[in-house]
Amino acid sequence: MITVSGLRKAYGDVVALDGVDLHVGKGEIFGVLGRSGAGKSTLLRCVNLLERPDEGVVTVDGRELTALGPADLRRARRRIGMIHQHFALLSSRTVAGNVAFPLEVMGVGRAARARRVAEMLDLVGLADRAGAYPAQLSGGQKQRVGIARALAAEPSVLLSDEATSALDPATTQSILALLRRLNRELGLTILLITHEMDVIKAVCDSAAIMSAGRITEAGPIPDLLAKPGSRLAAELFPLPPAEPGTVTVTLAADQTLLSRLARAYDVEVALAGGAVEPVAGVPAGRLRLRITGAGTAAALADLRERGLLVEEDA
């Protein structure tokens, strides 16, 4: 649905994007992680060409945006919704007026517009605040207006730059649940940027990690977790410092094997740290174990055989 290749963008001496390739499949929720200044926002803003890349090709929904003239680009942008980190609502318009804006741009008639606005406000649970001005809303409500506005024109792709980073955990959860629902019900493809691991855990199917203008890791989350030395795995499930004699086990599928180890082999299994929780719909996590006893080697071999990533800590 979104394909980006060979993207480069420099601001003077600062190279914000240094050859980025990215593919987001249809109906996927794709998360981009990375330190501040890694180039995440620049990447997102290159997808709808708010920022012109110096080099590279951007294709969205089968259209090569980088090859379009201004009028065609404007038309293509109407199919791409965008949620902004700081809401970017029109303060002179009411909630309903803000949601109506993209419909006005598309030339939707007054009656159809009013119907669609009401529908969208229902969807985000703000029907009762239609006449309020943004200044009268809370942060979470503003962000929901932003989402309603981004989706009003029925885009096939949604871009989201830190949509939840200004919100409290409960509000974040409700926004994420909403995004998940829209993804399921409308088949909406979502490319989102975040620095919150919880966002990745809660909604993303795939993820990429950016650092210094490059993508260092990308792919479906279970695949990334199963890769040795994965930074995503380390970021999603931070562990206490490794000690000699411990092993780090990463799981990304339904696994109930650990308790069985102790029974099947002649070992003691002590838990030194870690967590398991559902990620992209499957239980995933990293555990730091201290396995002792005569059957240790056999037990580790068993785990590896079952497809778990086992790293023996130095």
Partner 1 sequence: MTWSEMSPLLWEATGQTAVMVGWSTLFTVLFGLPLGVCLAGTDRGGLFPAPAVRRVLGLIVNVGRSLPFIVLMIAVIPLTRVLTGTTIGTTAAVVPLTIGAVPFFARLVETALREVGRDVVQAAEAMGAGRVRIVTRVLLPEALPGLVAGLTVTVVTLISYSAMAGVIGGGGLGDLAVRYGYQRFETTLMVVTVVVLVVVVQLAQTLGDAVARRLSHR
Q: Which residues bind Mg ion (CB under 5 A)?
A: 41
By CB under 6 A, tell whether 97 contacts ligand ATP. Answer: no
All residues at 6 or more sequence positions from 224 whose CB lies less than 8 Å from its CB, including other chains: 207, 217, 218, 230, 232, 233
* Strand pairing report for 214-220 and 246-251: unpaired
220 token code pair = 């479906």
CA nearest to 61, candidates 189, 192, 204, 148: 189
Q: Which does 252 bind (CB under 5 to 8 A by kind): ligand ATP, partner 1, Mg ion, none?
A: none
Beta-ladder partners of 292: 268
Query: Of 43-82, which residues contact partner 1 (CB under 8 A)?
Result: 48, 50, 74-78, 80, 82
Q: Which does 34 bind (CB under 5 to 8 A by kind): partner 1, Mg ion, ligand ATP, none?
A: ligand ATP
Q: Which does 260 bind (CB under 5 to 8 A by kind): partner 1, ligand ATP, Mg ion, none?
A: none
By CB under 8 A, tell whether 14 contacts partner 1. Answer: no
Query: Of 263-282, which residues contact partner 1 (CB under 8 A)?
Result: none
d(C-alpha 301, C-alpha 233), whole Å = 21
User: Residue 88: helix, strand or coil by DSSP?
Assistant: coil
Smallest separation, CB 121 to Mg ion (Å): 28
Q: Which does 11 bind (CB under 5 to 8 A by kind): partner 1, Mg ion, ligand ATP, none?
A: ligand ATP
CB nearer Mg ion, residue 108 or residue 191: 191
Q: Which does 48 bind (CB under 5 to 8 A by kind): Mg ion, partner 1, ligand ATP, none?
A: partner 1
CA angle, 15 then 16 then 19, to 5°:
85
Alpha helices, DSSP H, located in the chain: 40-47, 70-77, 95-106, 110-123, 139-152, 169-186, 197-203, 221-225, 231-236, 258-264, 296-305
Interface ranges with partner 1 (CB under 8 A): 48, 50, 74-78, 80, 82, 84, 86, 88-93, 101-102, 104-106, 133-135, 149, 153
